[in-house]
A and B are shown apart, each in its own frame.
Chain A
């Protein structure tokens, strides 16, 4: 473990924790602007977190210890996920802890804990949300894995740092396999982050909500942690996407000074990505819940086609 590796690791972690709510705020702000609203401002998520942390936590009478432990575990999972994704530099000491498959496993742990926590109280909304979340999850997880497999097959490795390094060193061109994988990844990230065609983060309508139904019983610091973890998840997903499909500007082990340029590169890529996310959300309508499996199955198929294209044509 080198000093620069340690430095880039800490920098990435701190950046993720600090910037994640800002990214959420940025997306929400753009959504507001695109819908001709003035919007709450970029810093609204921080105010929200501060407010929630200060409030006392109201716990349902029937809540078991599992319910109280889940927010911390989910937050821990998302933090680790942000720590192992090569967003700034491929020189990450922690990246040996988990490769692409384990990263998906990490998201799965968070999902299972959130769903189980939602079922813990025993209200009809909680279990409804858990059921829907697992429905989205069981289709999105293999699709995400298939996207990562495509990249792994190209790089001949499932280690995220190796994947990013080898993709960054390829000739600049549009690769068909990655194009398919990219579309699939976009679909999956919309579903996994509870974004508009699949779920609406701004609604509490019984018939449609997924993520909000899961966390209906949480309040105070527990809710704050879950909201923060959700921001971290959006941040992590954006960073995986950027690292695999737009891997430029990411520093490498041989060039620790590039870290200085990696930060503005990442921030500008995230800014563009966030704007596009808001744009797509504004342009599309929320799907019925029964259409979600079709949406995700098409993502899965696209990802598999991406793999096949790579295996058949080698591109």
Chain B
């Protein structure tokens, strides 16, 4: 058998994606070929990537140099444990989304299917390249390719003006972020002129320059991840894209920013200062709270999910922050725990958010509606989608025994057990912040109940919803794959932690695996069973056993008689579907409690109105207080510069003449 190094395998995967994309260009409008052959092939390639990544996790880092790019500036690639883990996430979530996409894309929606196929697979390949890159040049090329390919995917339906606007906003923020990342690499190479990551690792920067590099990385990767206040593009761009692309962007692309943050702060920088961690923690928690409050008040289902992604990214950054704090004080066991929680959540969020986004895609196709106020009752017409989305919803709410809870549990454990931090303030504040994480998690549950309850439960708010059709078989396979991932990750967290262990050992020299091996595979106990333990399988088994036993006993002792009747109408016989709680109504308590966070525009009807209308628009303060002033400033400057532009040749000649004079004066 041919022995294939994992890095060669990963490169083959990237080449395969690119060739699938090019095939798409040649079959530009042959819809059946693209959707039934190319996309499933891409999905299989994703699976291959996951397998190679799994293999690479257990091997020592491998390097490769690709003779691409400029002369004397080849692409350096390196596949270490961290890269392998993120490739595993890309492959695992990508496989489900690709197979779903095979059934999802419809004919005649904006961009021709072949072109969409090219952009989609270039997007996947560039994400893999970002993770694989081992020098700033290759990284930036891959990063930009990722931004551009996703921009074209977002604007697939470019005939809609809102989608174009969203795309341009995304492109702008992505590039502002990319500049910061480029500058960060510039600081990291410390004037040696060698931009390989190996050289950056060898440099020892002064704390000042290290902090500068860290802050630039935080800005750059934060812009990609949607960290507050750089988040404004995310709720615009993610919903605008076709659903499988939203799934990839929210589920997978945001994780490349997390990857970059971990790579820079744990691998490339040789030292870590505690206040970096504190900053990450503060920014992360603020982002998470902001995201989840906004998620609960949304009335567009894809925007709701986009805000929920902001919340999850915030939690991820907070976890990285904790890892940095502990590592700065040399507490490697706790640092490893925090990083494990972070990476666990990376995988878990990739799966459940992809699942939720593709679920909204199904709803969108079946009903043509994104507005929660016009949906409802879909569990009766699309049971497959509803039940699979329910798994994603429960995982996203952080409910045991699914994957969201396992990562949240690890994160809360990290927050709670901080004794012995040499910094008294941090020592006191961090456990208290655990309460904030609990609040965020509970609010996430609120948002998810709203999402699922309003879309899938109740009665259909429009008559047309009764014709909604369920998912096709390819879509079902894709969703099943993602849902199974949520369940498996949730039920068997210890097995997955063994994989994450390779990363933390590589980066921090410590892993939780030893402890996990001691307590056995059934029980998750990061320190010891006396201190904290959680066994998802026992937990799930317990609930299931009690429920089934109750069911059987009730049937056996009493009876199973049942009768269908109209719902109780409280004596008011004329109940319609419009009388159900709306999405706005469901979010109203949160809107009231968190009013200072939101920018509310209320249009209340007066008593004299012939056609009373009630309208509430929830806006984002940061857009009005931060972005619009900057935009106005730029506009003002542009107008000032524009004065120079008179449109008459004689004036331009005068400018040239004056410039010449000035130059002569300078070089005199």
Contact = CB atoms under 8 A, between A and B. Distances in A.
A99 B532 contact: yes
A76 B586 CA distance: 28
A124 B543 CA distance: 30
A193 B15 CA distance: 59
Contacts of B568: 60, 123, 216-217
Contacts of A216: 568
A73 to B, nearest CB: 5
Contact of B531 (A77, A162, A290): A162
20 contacts: A53-B558, A54-B558, A59-B563, A72-B547, A72-B548, A75-B546, A98-B538, A101-B409, A105-B400, A108-B398, A112-B397, A119-B453, A120-B458, A122-B458, A122-B567, A132-B589, A156-B417, A158-B416, A217-B568, A225-B554
B551 A72 contact: yes
A97 B538 contact: yes
A162 B566 CA distance: 51
Given A54-B558, A76-B547, A131-B585, A122 B438 contact: no
Interface of B: 376-377, 379-380, 390, 394, 397-400, 405, 409, 412-413, 416-417, 419, 427-428, 431-432, 434-435, 438-439, 441-443, 445-446, 448-450, 452-454, 457-459, 523, 525, 529-535, 538-539, 542-548, 550-551, 554, 557-559, 561-570, 575, 577, 579-581, 585-586, 588-590, 592-593
Contact of A123 (B438, B530, B575, B589): B575
Contact of B446 (A98, A122, A134): A134
A57 B561 contact: yes
A291 B60 CA distance: 59
A15 interface: no
Contact of A97 (B399, B531, B539, B575): B539
A83 B592 CA distance: 38
Contacts of B398: 105, 108
Contacts, number: 262
B579 A124 contact: yes
A60 B567 contact: yes
A155 to B, nearest CB: 9
Contact of B523 (A60, A96, A106): A96
Given A153-B431, A225-B554, A141 B442 contact: yes
Given A99-B533, A134-B445, A311-B431, A121 B543 contact: no
Contacts of B453: 115-116, 119, 127, 130
Interface stretch (A39-47, A233-241, A257-265, A299-307): A299-307
B577 A311 contact: no
A246 to B, nearest CB: 22
Interface stretch (A29-37, A61-69, A195-203, A277-285): A61-69
A122 B431 contact: no
B538 A122 contact: no
Contacts of A145: 412, 434-435, 438
The 8 closest A-B pairs by CB, nearest first: A127-B581, A76-B547, A122-B459, A122-B458, A97-B538, A76-B546, A142-B438, A56-B561
B593 A293 contact: yes
Residue of A101, A217, A311 with most partner-chain B CB within 10 A: A101
B565 A308 contact: no
B547 A73 contact: yes
Contacts of B379: 64, 66, 120
A98 B539 contact: yes
Contact of B586 (A112, A116, A127): A127
SS of A interface (majority): helix
A109 B442 contact: no
Interface residues of A, number: 80
B435 A75 contact: no
A131 B586 contact: yes
A221 interface: yes
A97 B448 CA distance: 26
A28 B428 CA distance: 43
B438 A146 contact: yes
A180 interface: no
A109 B391 CA distance: 12
Contact of B409 (A53, A75, A102, A300): A102
A79 B535 contact: no
B530 A162 contact: yes
A157 B172 CA distance: 48
Nearest to B554: A221
A83 B457 CA distance: 32
A121 B564 contact: no
Nearest to B565: A58
A62 B568 CA distance: 12
B228 to A, nearest CB: 20
Interface in A113-140: 115-116, 119-128, 130-132, 134-135, 137-139
B547 A125 contact: no
A307 B453 CA distance: 35
Given A217-B567, A304-B435, 7 more contacts: A94-B542, A112-B448, A123-B579, A293-B592, A307-B435, A311-B427, A311-B431
A122 B577 contact: yes
A206 B568 CA distance: 14
Contacts of A98: 400, 534-535, 538-539
